[in-house]
Amino acid sequence: MAQAERADRVSTAEAGDPGSGRRPAGFLGVRGWGRDARGSNTWRRGLAVAVLALLTGTLLAFHTEVPNGVGNLGSLLETFLPWLGLAVPLLLVPALLRRSATALLALLVPVVIWANMFGGLLTDKSGGTGDFTVVSHNVAAANTDPRGTVEMLEKSGAQIVALQELAGRPLHAYESGLAGSYPYHAVEGTVGLWSKYPIGDVSVVDIKMGWTRAFRAEVTTPKGPLAVYVAHLPSVRLKAEGGFTVNQRDASAQALGDAIEAEPIKKVLLLGDLNGTMNDRSLAPITSQMRSAQGAAGDGFGFSWPASFPMARIDQIMSRGGLKPTDSRTLERDGSDHLAVAATYRYQ
């Protein structure tokens, strides 16, 4: 009789008797998703996690509605928008620990929205051979190895190379180092263009900065002329007072967009450090009329900055009119705090 009672107590403890001191059988299984010791069932637990999941989905879906009036929060969110997806695995842990069906269902919302927005970037969209390759690179004024940068650019196989943050002695290193591979080049202010094809009709583009950081040139390729814009938009800063300071960049983006809109040549390339991503609404004067090579032919997000741990693609290669990107990628790290970006195009 006593032996039978002991067996019954063991059976009760293994089944999840709250007084037994043991976790319910099937902690992450079906039986563990019933009521807990306080009587809450799986649908009532984890409501806070569910709210955070829905908030994440709302920010993803309606990021354009986040106002820029206070600290330019909208642009800040859009600069790092893909990283908002990290909230899903972070919230998944407490959802499982709380054994909350409500939280798990709520997490499907940001998962679906994120996949719809960025899932296409995770596949390799490159296809076929192209007619020419272009590279854009913010070489960084503090680059301590311009010779290494020259070697990296020459190995890229590009026919057209745009550089930003050119100044002082490093500029001479780039001019002399690239001269053998690129017989044509133009430098205006702190931005430059090197090409295997003839360059002509160079003109400064006023992007409202007070000094030259953008120009337009006509490059004569074997299949016709290209209008090539090289630009380095003003830097942005995140400050305790004032938030995300982007006003000067936004004014420059508008000026650059106006210049590109007025361009008479059909085939247009924009190469440069725009200090903003394709998601940033403030770059709409440019992005609304140009196609990103990374978005059309890349494999992954192609983050280019900072080089030590890339978190955003602020270096852009964009096109308009009869140019199909067939490949887009970042190049190996050099002495800059940016990664160079490259794209291959085919004439249509």
Q: How far apart are the first and last CA of the chain?
A: 90
For residue 325, cis peptide bond before it (omega within 30 degrees of 0) = no
Tokens representing 304 are 């280019």
pTM of the model as a whole: 0.86
- What does the pLDDT profile of the chain (348 residues) look like in tens digits? 455 555 555 444 444 454 444 444 444 444 567 776 676 778 889 999 999 999 999 999 999 999 987 778 888 999 999 999 999 999 999 999 999 999 999 999 999 999 999 999 999 999 889 999 999 999 999 998 999 999 999 999 999 999 999 988 899 999 999 999 999 999 999 999 999 999 999 999 999 999 999 999 999 999 999 999 999 999 877 655 555 667 899 999 999 999 999 999 999 999 999 999 999 999 999 999 999 999 999 999 999 999 999 999 999 999 999 999 999 999 999 999 999 999 999 999
292 close to 278: Cβ distance less than 8 angstroms:
yes
Q: Where are the alpha helices (DSSP H) in the chain?
A: 2-14, 47-61, 73-79, 87-97, 101-118, 146-155, 168-178, 247-261, 284-287, 293-297
Rounded CA gap, 157 and 134, in Å? 9
Rounded CA gap, 108 and 98, in Å? 17
Please report where in the chains the tokens 């900055």 appear, as a residue. 305
CA dihedral 174→178→182→185, nearest 10 degrees, is: 20
pLDDT tens profile 228-246: 999 999 987 765 555 566 7
In this structure, the strands spanning 191-195 and 160-164 are antiparallel
DSSP letters spanning 37-99: TTS--TTTTTHHHHHHHHHHHHHHHTGGGS-STTTTHHHHHHHTGGGGGGHHHHHHHHHHHTT
Please report where in the chains the tokens 């999941």 appear, as a residue. 53
- Coil vs helix vs strand at 288: coil
pLDDT tens profile 6-61: 555 544 444 445 444 444 444 444 456 777 667 677 888 999 999 999 999 999 99
Q: What's the confidence (pLDDT) of residue 169?
A: 86
Q: What's the confidence (pLDDT) of residue 239?
A: 55
281 close to 53: Cβ distance less than 8 angstroms:
no
